[in-house]
Amino acid sequence: MTANISEFCVEMQNIHKFYGPFHALKGVSLRVRRGEVCVAIGPSGSGKSTLLRCINQLETISAGRVLLKGELQGFVEQDGRFHPLSSGQIAAQRRLTGMVFQRFHLFPHMTALENIMEGPAHVKGWSKDQARTKANQLLERVGLGGFGGRYPEQLSGGQQQRVAIARALAMEPEVMLFDEPTSALDPELVGEVLDVIKDLARSGITMVVVTHEIGFAREVGNHLIFMDQGQIMEEGHPRSMLADPQNPRTAAFLSKVL
Ligand X SMILES: Nc1ncnc2c1ncn2[C@@H]1O[C@H](COP(=O)(O)OP(=O)(O)OP(=O)(O)O)[C@@H](O)[C@H]1O
Residues that bind ligand X (CB under 6 A): 19, 22, 24, 42, 44-50
Residue 158 touches other proteins, criterion: CB under 8 A: no
Task: Tell me if 217 sits within 8 A of 39, measured CB to CB.
Answer: yes
The interface region with other proteins, picked from 75-83, 85-93, 190-198, 199-207 by CB under 8 A, is 85-93
Distances (CA, A) of 180 to 116, 141, 177: 20, 21, 10
Which pairing describes strands 63-68 and 8-19: parallel, antiparallel, or unpaired? antiparallel
Residue 206 lies near Mg ion (rule: CB under 5 A): no
Q: Is 92 in the site for other proteins (CB under 8 A)?
A: yes
Pick between residue 11 and residue 59 the one whose CB is nearest to Mg ion: 59
- Please identify, using beta-carbon distances, which residue of 106 and 227 lies nearer to other proteins: 106
We find the least distance from the C-beta atom of residue 179 to ligand X, in angstroms, to be: 7
**What is the smallest separation between the CB atom of 106 and ligand X, expressed in angstroms?**
20
Does position 94 bind other proteins by CB under 8 A? yes
What single-letter DSSP state applies at residue 212?
S
Render 44-87 in DSSP notation, one character per residue: TTSSHHHHHHHHTTSS--SEEEEEETTEESSEEEETTEEEEPPH
Q: How far is the CB of 138 from Mg ion (least distance, A)?
A: 26
Q: Please, which residue, 28 or 117, has the CB nearer to Mg ion?
A: 28
Distance of closest approach, residue 242 Cβ to other proteins, in angstroms:
30
By CB under 8 A, residue 48 contacts other proteins: no
Report how far residue 104's alpha carbon sits from residue 139's, in angstroms, rounded to the nearest whole number: 16
- Between 19 and 107, name the residue whose CB sits nearer to ligand X: 19
Give the dihedral sign, CA 71/167/237/183. Answer: positive
Shortest Å distance, C-beta 50 to ligand X: 3
- CB 52, min distance to Mg ion, A: 8
Q: Which one-letter amino acid corresponds to residue 107? A: F
22 binds, among ligand X, Mg ion, other proteins, none (CB under 5 to 8 A by kind): ligand X
Q: Say how many residues touch Mg ion, by CB under 5 A.
A: 1
> Where does the chain have alpha helices with state H?
2-7, 48-55, 87-94, 112-122, 128-141, 157-169, 187-202, 214-220, 238-243, 248-257
Under the criterion CB under 8 A, does residue 221 sit at the interface with other proteins? no
Sheet holding 175-179, edge to edge: 97-100, 175-179, 206-210, 37-41, 223-228, 231-236
Give the residues lining the site for Mg ion (CB under 5 A).
49
Which spans of this chain sit near other proteins (rule: CB under 8 A)?
56, 58, 87-88, 91-95, 97-99, 101, 103, 105-111, 118-119, 122-123, 151-153, 164, 167-168, 171
